[in-house]
Chain A
Amino acid sequence: MDSRHRELEPGLFEPVEVDRDEGERISGPRVGFWKDSWIRLKKNRGALFSLAVVLFLFAMAFVIDPLLSPHSPYAQDLARRYLGPTADYWFGTDKFGRDMWTRVWAGTRVSLYIGLLAALLDIFVGVVYGAISGFLGGRIDDVMQRGIEILNGIPYLIVAILAMIVFDPGIITISIAIGLTGWTFMARIVRGRMLQLKDQEFALASRALGASGFRLVWKHLIPNSLGLIVINLMFTIPAAIFAEAFLSFIGLGIQVPEASLGSLISDGAQELRFHPFLLWFPSIIFCLLMICFNLLGDGLRDALDPKMRK
């Protein structure tokens, strides 16, 4: 009530020209979806650390080790068997005197290769299959989904064994075993998203404008599924790495003298009693890979989740 009796300058009661455009102006920088997600991801320290570790492991396996390592992963030196970590051999040597450092990184290369293969299959087979199935719907969708169910019904172990009979055990076998069925999960996810999105009003608006099916999928539906796809990829990779490790561990995968993290762990496990370091090093790298990809996947899921925007 005070202001009624307060002495106020008459100038204060002049009308103000209000800029109508001002009301429509949007302040602040343009924030795209990916930039916004990256900002959120950066805040998640676990995810950021995992990303750094993953990148580091990639660099080590594919760049640094091949360039720098003085030893070959196959060179045997029976005089220097079972050496613990030394200056010459950072991870020690195995029962044939082979340098563990190089072998571990060779094994990591194999694991990462499998992970990448699974990821590529996910994208080129899984996404495409799921997108077609979900978008077309109806009878085609039914048939395609039954196809996936049949594929899923076959345990990949059986496929691996069959592949081993036809081809020799090795990288080819594993690739087939994992590649044949690994992409089905992504296909299902993408299909679900397509079903969800294709009835949304922005998709209907596009159709009303006369957009072709291809345009709809490529410009509207897939871009809105990218978050889901990326997140899923981050979980597919460790799953594939684990599958390979398991196959190699039980002897169906990589055979000597090739190395994979799984076979190294398998060999190391046998020597656990007297030469535990043979188990530690490949195990640590393997666990790092698994944990970091999973943490990264979790972080990405939080960062990309549209519900948490604004």
Chain B
Amino acid sequence: MSVDSILEVKDLRISFSTHAGEVEAVRGVTFDLRNGETLAIVGESGSGKSVTAKSLMRLLPEANTRIKGGEAIFEGQDLLKLSEKRMQGIRGPKIAMVFQDPMTSLDPTMKVGRQITESLTKHLGMSGSCARERAVELLKMVGIPNAEARVRQYPHQFSGGMRQRVVIAIALACDPQILIADEPSTALDVTIQAQILELLRDLQERIGTSIILITHDLGVVAQTARRVAVMYGGKIVETGTVREIFYNPQMPYTWGLLASIPLPTADRSQDLIPIPGSPPDMLEPPKGCPFTPRCPYAMQICAEEMPDYTTFSAEHKAACWLHHPMAPDVEPPVRVRGTQ
């Protein structure tokens, strides 16, 4: 863990109790977020990425969530153990979150300006007029034209992309150190997505917010992230810099993901290489590596035991039995062979 980390998550374990049994959504996740960087957490549905993000903000439903272990150290405190009151002082001014659906993230009965100033007056103790000025400033910063007039409008008067910008403005209102963006552009059109991602990059450069970006879209990852953590079945199976993950991936799931995406330059006569099967059922999580049933290189030991991480470089780690000295040598699929 480097000195430069502002958030350190260690061995996070989260389960939900449902009427069908206990669902182990997150099973031992460890990562850190460095100052001023964008870390992308990539995974598909059921991988546990959203649950991880929400747990950092303690936004999971209390009734049936159990944080079974681990810690999330921010500014010397464990976020998982803070009282609700203390968390309220963190959510907003220190750590802010942007969700996927801009339609439901905003209060439809409150003017947009008020939703921003609420945060400012509550957390920063700003006076009403100061807060209003700052709200207009923020709307301008996120690229909403005619901000002075629009600050007095209601969410339904904005389009999807604009609403997401408003959500980002609210999130950044108190200059948080960390911004967690959970699929911020997935529900938006591609040209609007480009705008939003550009905005996030721009803001990061200007304000220096550290961003955790949760997504399933590898293109978005390539565009915005500095480091990447790949999640599957409630665990991080590989992590590294963005170039390491794309050009020198070391884990069959990552290979599978990269090989199954139709690249614009792909040869159309070649079939895509899909990953057979479906994501695992977290009601009965597998004993060993969760990817085993779908892995073309699966070995006996994969089903028995979870592999340890193998380190490839300062940032690059992967958990796979293929890296054990006794395992056979395998070549990743052609489409994935890197330049390194």
A residues with CB within 8 A of B: 1-4, 8, 10-16, 18, 20, 22-24, 40, 310
B73-86 interface code vs A (CB 8 A; 1 in, 0 out)? 00000000000000
Contact of A4 among B278, B298, B324, B328 (CB under 8 A): B324
Q: How far is the CA of A10 from the CA of B326 in the complex (A)?
A: 7
Contacts of B325 in A (CB 8 A): 4
Q: Which residue of B lies closest to A40 (CB)?
A: B19
B interface, by DSSP: helix, strand, loop or mixed? loop
Contacts of B310 in A (CB 8 A): 4
**Given A8-B324, A23-B276, residue A18 in contact with residue B293 (CB < 8 A):** yes
Q: How far is the CA of A40 from the CA of B321 in the complex (A)?
A: 43
Contact B327 A310 (CB under 8 A): no
6 contacts between A and B (CB under 8 A): A1-B309, A3-B307, A4-B308, A8-B326, A23-B294, A40-B19
Task: Indicate whether B300 reaches chain A with its CB closer than 8 angstroms.
Answer: yes
Contact A16 B278 (CB under 8 A): no
Task: Indicate the member of A1, A13, A24 with the most B CB atoms within 10 Å.
Answer: A13
Nearest chain B CB to A25 CB, angstrom units: 10
Task: Indicate whether B297 reaches chain A with its CB closer than 8 angstroms.
Answer: yes
Nearest chain A CB to B28 CB, angstrom units: 15
Q: How far is the CA of A255 from the CA of B3 in the complex (A)?
A: 90
Nearest chain B CB to A290 CB, angstrom units: 30
Contact A13 B327 (CB under 8 A): yes
Nearest chain A CB to B107 CB, angstrom units: 22
Nearest chain A CB to B46 CB, angstrom units: 13
Q: How far is the CA of A249 from the CA of B304 in the complex (A)?
A: 74
Task: Indicate whether B303 reaches chain A with its CB closer than 8 angstroms.
Answer: yes
A interface, by DSSP: helix, strand, loop or mixed? helix
Task: Indicate whether B266 reaches chain A with its CB closer than 8 angstroms.
Answer: no
B residues with CB within 8 A of A: 19-20, 276-278, 292-295, 297-305, 307-310, 321, 323-328
Q: How far is the CA of A20 from the CA of B296 in the complex (A)?
A: 10
Contact A13 B328 (CB under 8 A): yes
Q: How far is the CA of A10 from the CA of B328 in the complex (A)?
A: 10
Contacts of A12 in B (CB 8 A): 299-301, 304, 326
Contact B20 A310 (CB under 8 A): yes
Q: How far is the CA of A304 from the CA of B303 in the complex (A)?
A: 39
Q: How far is the CA of A8 from the CA of B325 in the complex (A)?
A: 10
Q: How far is the CA of A23 from the CA of B278 in the complex (A)?
A: 7
Contact B300 A18 (CB under 8 A): no
Contacts of B294 in A (CB 8 A): 18, 23
Extra pairs beyond A2-B308, A4-B324, A4-B325 (20, CB < 8 Å): A1-B308, A3-B307, A3-B324, A4-B310, A8-B326, A10-B326, A12-B299, A12-B300, A12-B326, A13-B327, A15-B328, A16-B299, A16-B303, A18-B292, A18-B293, A18-B298, A22-B293, A23-B293, A24-B277, A24-B278
Contacts of A22 in B (CB 8 A): 293
Nearest chain A CB to B250 CB, angstrom units: 14
